[in-house]
Amino acid sequence: MASVTGPKGAGSGYAVGARLVLTSAHVTGPASVRVQVFHPGGDGSAGGTVVWAGIPGGRDDASLVLVDDSPNWRPPAGPVLWGRPDTKRPGTPCETWGVPDEAQRPGRPVEAAHVHGEVNPGSGFVGNQYVMDLRTPATGWPGDGTSPWSGLSGAAVFCDRYLTGVVASDRQHSDHGQLNVVPSYVLHHDPAFRTALADHGGGSQVGLEAVEFQDLADPTTRPAARPAPVTPAALLEAGRQTVPFHGREDLISQLEGWCGQGGFGAWLLHGPGGQGKTRLAHHLAHLLTARGWTVLWPRADARPDQLLEVRRAAKPLLVVLDYAETRPSQLTALVEAAAEHPRTSPLKLLLLARTAGDWWQQASTATRQAEDLLTTAPTNFLVPLEDEPNLRVGHYRDAAHALAATLPTVPGLAVHDWTTAATTLQPPRNLDEDDAYGNALTLHMTALADLLDTAPMKPAGGTGGEGDVRDVEDRLLGHEARYWQSSAAARGLTPGLGMDTLRTALAAAHLTGATDREHTDLLWRRLSALADQPRDRRNQITAWLAALYPATTSRNGPPWGTLQPDRLAERHTGRALDADPYFADQLLDGADGPQVEQLLTVYSRAAAHPSFRGRLDTHLTDLCIRHHQQLSPHIVTTATRTDNSSPFTNALDTICADPATTLDALTTLYDRFPRASHRLATIAARLATTITGHYRTLAEANPDAHL
């Protein structure tokens, strides 16, 4: 928060960039005007220049001030997120913070006021204004024509985390109980405003977030909220778009046309990991938000009842459900919300999944609403992006140069000349021959690994140098491991704990996850290598992981993010499972349902990697057999959702054929089978026959009891 003094008087402001302050145009005047800015309670003021201004008293009554480089100015701690109300729901809570006259006292330093209220989207919409109804209006102010809120002009209005508008004036005929607010959407509609933001450190957020859906949204999908990269692998996260999106023009055109049709629609994109599903969805989202759409990527832990709020959307909305095959309850809730949506604005549901098998058949017939809304949804298998070998060299070089431009932002990598390295880099010898390079992520990972190998800092474990393209994950993990080691040493974890133990902890975190810090501690205590460690040492491991892969929200939730891309995490996890076939057994002891399902899903994905030559498939089958009483319902569920189902079907076959499996266990298992499943049909028939045989034997032995 800041106070701003310009030719037109004094007002309030808010830092939206390191040296960029949002305030009021009727305080500062037009562009190029000089003003003074200071932090209330701070030491001294700093000069500043207006770099953009709307019309004083107009609907865009706001301005941006670039503060001089001054020791009296404190930059903000983090980026600003911009938003708008996207429903017609009244009573959206909001707040603002500034230096109004009602807070000032003679002979005292400039004082601040923190003002609460609410916004009703229908109030002021004709004039493109928001009206903030104040919770505690200023009372006892003399009726002399002055306003207690003079000096608050230019203050930022927030709806929770989102900057939603700028205070313009005391609203007439409200007895000082309402404020006129310039909406963020009015400011962002002006290209000059967006350019000034981007040019002066205010970020380049395209589009506005829906304030009503902010607790539903996955924060990892918001570029402005994404933490700076801590390790090189972070540059490959799909949401960063470090390598600019290219290709798939026909599919993008089809999706844009689908969005333009109005009403509700669903579309399923499926394909292997790394094929580019999430990158494509981010690109589509970027195109749509530039046209005024809202895009919602639901959190993995969003409750179905929370997702029903989507039915209130009053602006064009695209909902992207990633990993849709693992989120059936969320999909059902979104379908229910779509059925209740008034269809006055477009509502589109884009589903991303690795497969389109049994889970999709079950989801599209789960309810009458699903049958009505999903059975006609288009489904597309995403073919390899780099399927034209003659273009791969150019795309490899483009990726290398894009990554080289960003690598200096990774800690410890600022000194190396990455631009020269990218220019002199030689593409892999078999780039145009090996179909593995048709996968976009494989191509990008190869370019990143090749770049990192040019640096003097060598990877841990000696995995550098060009090798089989199918081992590129191992090469990148070698470079990641260097960060694991240095961070562990800096935190005093080593040499007291070995790196093998810490690698195991990282694998456990990806295999089962944890919902909060207490849940995390239970996870560490299940690992034999950490069970006897004191709580403070286990907390250090949590902090180590959180520093390497930061969580994207400070609210209650997982204390760390994830190692991305998924294929890297799956490869690392696969190594741990391959080294110790009983590693997963430790994690199952005390695991809850979501953790068990995550473990089986991630295990099956890791097992599918050809480098393990089927060993993990066997280990996973054995795990399911050993723990079938605990795992049976999850085995059935995961078998219908994963693209590597053979370990589960083999386990089910063995369990059903085992004479030691009781009739109760068999009938309980049979009850878990879905109504229809192509993948499990043969096993279901065999299981039914086995159960029938058991009952026939019982009936023959005791007809009175069983007939």
Q: What pLDDT does residue 465 have?
A: 55
Domain with CATH 2.40.10.120 in the chain: 1-205
Q: What pLDDT does residue 476 have?
A: 95
Axis-axis angle for helices 646-657, 593-607 (nearest 10): 110
- Residue 535 contacts residue 542 (beta carbons within 8 Å): no
Q: What pLDDT does residue 689 have?
A: 92
Ranges assigned E (strand) in 510-669: none
- Residue 326 contacts residue 641 (beta carbons within 8 Å): yes
Q: What pLDDT does residue 456 have?
A: 87
How is domain 1-205 classified at the CATH fold level?
A: Thrombin, subunit H (2.40.10)
Tens digits of per-residue pLDDT, 88-135? 999 999 999 999 988 888 989 888 899 999 999 899 989 999 999 999
Q: What pLDDT does residue 317 have?
A: 97
Q: What pLDDT does residue 552 have?
A: 67
- Residue 312 contacts residue 285 (beta carbons within 8 Å): no
Using 50 as the pLDDT threshold, list the residues of the chain that sit under it. Answer: none
Q: What pLDDT does residue 555 have?
A: 59
Domain with CATH 3.40.50.300 in the chain: 248-381
Strands 9-15 and 317-321 come out as unpaired
Q: How many CB atoms lie within 10 A of CB 304?
A: 16
CATH ID of 248-381, from 3.40.1190.20, 3.90.79.10, 3.10.150.10, 3.40.50.300: 3.40.50.300
Picking from 653, 704, 661, 638, the residue whose alpha carbon sits closest to that of residue 683 is: 653
Q: What pLDDT does residue 225 have?
A: 66
Q: In what order do the strands lie in the sheet with 294-296?
A: 294-296, 317-321, 347-353, 264-270, 379-381
